[in-house]
Amino acid sequence: MARVRVVRLPHPHDARARLLGLTEAGWAATRAADQAARAAVAPWRETLGEARFSELVADLTRVTPPGPIRPAW
């Protein structure tokens, strides 16, 4: 059985609308993804040093589109 990670919640001001919220499983998945992302770039940070790594992040931020990353499929 799949773990439910998102729940629908009532909107506090609009009875027609619903809000989406994360369950504890959803928060756990988010934390795991954050840890995996940090682990993936840890070798870059160690190799480049903190100052150059920060510059790299700033450079990449300038050349990438704003907003969330969306899959191409």
Has residue 4 been placed in a domain? no
Residue 21 in tokens: 């919220």
Whether 61 maps to a domain, the answer reads yes
Which pLDDT tens digit goes with each residue over 41-53? 999 999 999 999 9
CB distance 20 to 11 below 8 Å? no
For residue 33, is pLDDT > 70? yes
Range of the domain at 59: 29-65
- Amino acid identity of residue 73, one-letter, is W
- Which residue type does 25 have? A
Closest CA to 8 of 26, 17, 24, 21: 21
Beta strands in 1-73 (DSSP E): 6-10, 18-22
Asked if residue 15 is part of any domain, the answer here is no
Is residue 57 one of the residues assigned to a domain? yes
Q: What is the pLDDT confidence band of residue 21, given thresholds at 50, 70 and 90?
A: very high
In a domain, 73, yes or no: no
Count of domains forming the chain: 1
| Residue 3, in any domain of the structure | no
